[in-house]
Chains A and B, each alone.
Chain A
Amino acid sequence: MILSKLTRFPGTGIPYQAVTGNPALDDFLIELDRHLLGSAKVRMQFLAEIKDHLLEKKDPLIEEGRTEDVAMTSAVQSMGTPDELAKSQREELKKKYIGISVPSGIIFGIFMALFSAFTHLKGKGLVLISLNGLQNGVFFGLFMGWFMTFIWPERQLTSALKTYLSSAEESEFVVHYSKWMRRLSYPITVFFLLMGVYCISFGIAGFFYISINKNLLFPRWMSLVLGGIAIIDFFAVRLCCRKYKVNEDGIYVDDFLGRKKIFAWKNLKRVGLLGDIRPWILRYWKKVKYAEFENGNHKAMRMLVYPDMVNADRLFVLLDKKANM
């Protein structure tokens, strides 16, 4: 019961938007929802897809002369059992949970163990404090795995490598990434996020000589270093969480707080070379620079393209064509 609440948060009931008023369909969707995992939004999307299928299936059956209830019952029966349908979704989320929590937990655990060992000045209990750091890191990783799989997956917090461009008019400009990069995206971003949280908390505590752990003592300058690392981490996470969409109006940018911004083609001007590729943070990003000129205000917009994006060149061609130069 507790596990069910943890993996179906928030709310364990069927999302009200899924209810149709047709008893056969509603019963099926309620039963299906019981077999699904994830947040209400994730389950709602799954149910919406199945509901749409069943409603589409029902229409030709009515045209054949069946009543609505009989047609819907028949459509529902042809769909198989709810357990069979939901099985893939459950397995997918479990796989995702393991994919996020295990690598990020291990990476952050090692980081915390090394950090604990490095900042340990008393000379006693070095192994113990390192193991303690490792254990804390693993628990952090497991927590973040749960949070980002079952609670906040729809926000795509870890969209570092899922950043995409889509266009209704030109569907070929969907960004494609290679398999290994997609797999690495979650652990990398979770790692950045966790490291940022850790650095800020220990940095502040260290600066004011507050002892979070009695065995951990480090000089004040270390707080400044941690603060600097935290800023870099959050900057990286912020960049990772951006999504770009392109259509005939311009570039739409969604940041990780859900704020939306449009850079209209007509107001957009290019700064420097389009598709200028610069080595920056171990050549991880390619940088494309734009600037927006509107009402005399100069706002710079930086668009980052990941090196693993296999169709980056085509994106540059699109932007070059669209931007008002």
Chain B
Amino acid sequence: MGNIDKKKVVIIDYKLGNLFSVKQACDTVGMNAIISSDKTDVLNADALILPGVGAFLEAMTNLKQLGLAEAIIEKVNNNTPLFGVCLGLQLLFSESEEFGAGKGLDLISGVIKKFPDNLENRKIMVPHIAWNTIYKFEQNWSEVPLIDLKNDDFMYFIHSYYVKPSDNECILTKTNYDGIEFCSAVTKNNIFATQFHPEKSAAKGISIYKNWAIINNLL
């Protein structure tokens, strides 16, 4: 079967960071994914992936300049599935507490906070760069891409900021970094997003891409 029949997934390129591994993960599970910064591609996509490494402010600036911010909001409101990864999760939220960073896409209500550099007189190393466990919170995982995972499975994290949703209902997983508990995955309607990097989390991480594709009929 050729790619013609397959639904088109667009990995949104806003000119920050490395999209190679996200594309590899999509290819590995059999999605028809392209990397694009073109607003028209985004508007014509059957599903979107919003990856990201780097600074929130720079990311939002680039998304706006490329006309992608509006396009993403329009697509999500029209029920197109969106998968956010790392900074791509943070960008979905209302605003960042990072100095001068301002507003996000505001598709999910909440703020982005930085890890403290100490807690109870203990030094906290920032960024949080580690394999860490994810555990269930409000929602169960039976109908989301985490379906093949167990409570306390390890995922790969690399970030200095984390999200604090206004509404607990969207929280899929939590993670504890050296005494600080934070939200590590969310879902809301057609949005699914992780703070960790499934494409860097070995076979279990790749199962998340596979199940996201299956749930959204992208294969």
A and B physically associate: no
Which A residues form the contact surface with B (CB < 8 A)? none
